[in-house]
Amino acid sequence: MISLFAKLFIKDKENTSSPEVRKAYGVLCGSMGIALNILLFAGKFLAGFFSNSIAITADAFNNLSDAGSSLITLVGFQMAGQKPDPHHPFGHGRIEYLSGLFVSIAILIMAFELVRSSFDKILHPQTVTFSPLTILILFVSIAVKLYMAYYNKNIGKKIDSAAMNATATDSLSDTLATTVVLIASLTAHFTGLQIDGYCGILVGLFIFYAGYCAARDTVSPLLGQAPDPAFVKNVENIVMSYEHVQGIHDMVVHDYGPGRVMISLHAEVSADGNLLVLHDMIDNIEHHLHDELHCEAVIHMDPVITDDAQTNQLRQTLSDLLKNFYPEIRFHDFRVVKGPTHTNIIFDIVVPFAYRESDESIADFLKKEIHRIDETYFAVIQIDKAYAGNAL
C-alpha cells in the first residue's frame, strides 16, 4: 500500500537524498500511521471495555499514543523540509531528530502509566470476559502492527531516518505487547488464571524499552555522532580518484539533518605543482562531491614535498616507528624545517578516542625517538582526533 501511494504521490521517489522527497515520505508514513493507529485504538478499546481487560485497554491507549507519535513525526518532517532562512542558514533538518525525541518521551510516559495501572489491576483483580471478537481484534492488530513495522523499517532504511527507524521499533514492540495480551486472554479463558495485570506490566515494559531505543537513536545525532563510515569512504574514494591528490586528512563532517551535510578536509598535493591547476582541481572535486553525495564541501590544499631525500627518509622513519609501536595511529602534514643549529621535524598524529595511552606519553616517546636519530632533530607534534574515522 505504501509503495502504491509513494508511486502515486511522490515525484522522483527514488531521489531520497532530496529534502523534498524525504519530507514526502515522512508525511506519507505519518499519515498512514495516524489512520491505522486510530483504527486499532477504537477496536481494542471496545474489546477491552467489553472483556473487562486492563491489558487490552492498556494496549489500546498505547495505540492512541502511537497515533499522537505519528502526528509528531508528520509535523516534524513538514518543518524539517522548510528551506534555509537568515536565522537558520543550514536549514531545519534537525527538527526531524527533535520530533523523534518527542515521540520517545511520549512512549516512555505511556509506559509508566501502563505499568502503574497494571499494578492496580494485580492488587484488585477482575474477571476477564472471553469473546471470539476480542481474539479476532487482537490477531488483526498483530498483523497490522507487523505491516507498520515492515514499511517503517523499509522507508527508514531508504531515506536513512532515525525517526522512522524508531517508529519501526515501536511498531515491532507493539506486536510483541499485543501477543502477550492475547496470551493473557487465552490463558484466562482456558485455565482460569487471571494474569491480566501481570501481562499489562509486561506490555508496559515492552513499551518502555521501545521508548528507550527510540530516544537513544534520536539523541545521538543531536549530540553530534560520528559520520557513517560508508559516507566517509565514498568521500575518500572520490577525492583520491583525482590525479594530483596524494592523500587526505583532517576530515570533519557537520550534520545539520538528513540531506544537509557539510564536510571539510585537507587534500595533500605536490608542493611543486602548478597552483592554478591544483586550485581548479580542488574546485572540481568540491562540485563532484556536491553532485554525487549531495553535500557541501570545503577543501584545503596541503603542499607536500616529495623530492627531498632527507624529508623522505625521515617520513619513512616515522612511519616505521608508528607501525611498530602504535599501528592504530596515522600521521600527516609532515615537513622538515632546517636551521643553523637544529632541525624541526613537524607533523600531526591522529590518535583514536579513548586510546590505551595518553596523548602526552605518545608524543614524548616520538620526540625521544626522533631526537635519538640525530641530536639536532626536534619533533614538533600536533595531536588530532579522528572525527571521521581512524584512517582520516
Where in the chain are the domains?
Answer: 2-223, 229-385
Mean residue pLDDT across the chain: 84
Model pLDDT, residue 123: 82
For 64, residues 6+ apart whose C-beta sits below 8 A from its C-beta are: 37, 38, 41
The letter for the amino acid at 164 is: M
2-223 and 229-385 have identical folds: no
CATH 1.20.1510.10 assigned to domain 2-223? The reply is: yes
Q: In 3D, which of 52, 60, 31 has the Cα closest to residue 137? A: 60
Report yes or no: 66 and 38 within 8 Å, Cβ to Cβ: no
For the chain, the distance separating the N- and C-terminal CA atoms, rounded to the nearest angstrom, is 43
> DSSP label at 343?
E
pLDDT for 85-133, tens place per residue?
788 877 777 777 787 788 778 778 877 877 887 787 788 776 666 678 7
180 sits in which H/E element? helix 162-191
CATH of 229-385 given 3.20.20.70, 3.40.50.720, 3.30.70.1350, 1.10.10.10: 3.30.70.1350
Report yes or no: 378 and 347 within 8 Å, Cβ to Cβ: no
Strand order in the sheet with 295-304: 247-255, 261-270, 295-304
Mean pLDDT of 144-162: 85
CA dist 137 to 46, 54, 70, 85, Å? 10, 15, 22, 48
Q: CB burial class (10 A; 0-12, 13-18, 19+) of residue 71?
A: middle
Q: Reply yes or no on whether the pLDDT at 391 is more than 60.
A: no
Model pLDDT, residue 350: 92
pLDDT for 340-380, tens place per residue?
899 999 999 999 888 889 999 999 999 999 999 999 999 99
Mean pLDDT of 51-60: 73
